A and B are shown apart, each in its own frame.
Chain A
Amino acid sequence: MTYAADVAALARKDLLLELRARETLPAMALFVLSALTVFHFALPATSSDLAAKGLLWVAIVFTALVGLQRAFVVEREHGVIDGLVLAPCDRSAIWLGKALAVLGFLAAVEVIALPAYSIFFSPVDGPTIAAVALADLGICAVGTFVAATAASSRTRELVLPLLFLPLVIPVVIGGVGASVAGGSARYLGFLALYDAVFAIICWASFEYVVTE
Chain B
Amino acid sequence: MIRARGVGRRYGAKHVLRGVDLDLPAGGFLLVTGPNGSGKTTLLRMIAGLQIPTAGELEVAADRGRVGFLSHQPLLYPQLTAAENLDLYGRLYRVPERRERIGMLLERFGLWDARNERVAAYSRGMQQRLALCRALLHEPELLVLDEPYTALDAAGEELVDRELAERHATVVCATHDPGRVEHLATARLAFA
Contacts and interface: CB of A to CB of B under 8 A. Distances in A.
Interface residues of A, number: 23
A154 interface: no
B65 A13 contact: no
A86 B64 contact: yes
Given A13-B77, A78-B77, A89-B92, A83 B64 contact: no
B110 interface: no
A80 B50 contact: no
B75 interface: yes
Interface stretch (A15-23, A134-142, A171-179, A196-204): A15-23
Nearest to A84: B92
Interface SS of chain A: helix, strand, loop or mixed?
Answer: helix
Interface string B48-73: 11111000000000011111010111
Interface in A173-212: 212
B112 interface: no
A17 B77 contact: yes
Nearest to A21: B79
Contacts of B63: 88
- Chain A CB count within 10 A is highest, among B71, B72, B74, B91, for B91
Interface in A87-140: 87-89
Closest 6 CB pairs of A and B: A88-B65, A79-B73, A83-B75, A87-B92, A20-B79, A9-B91
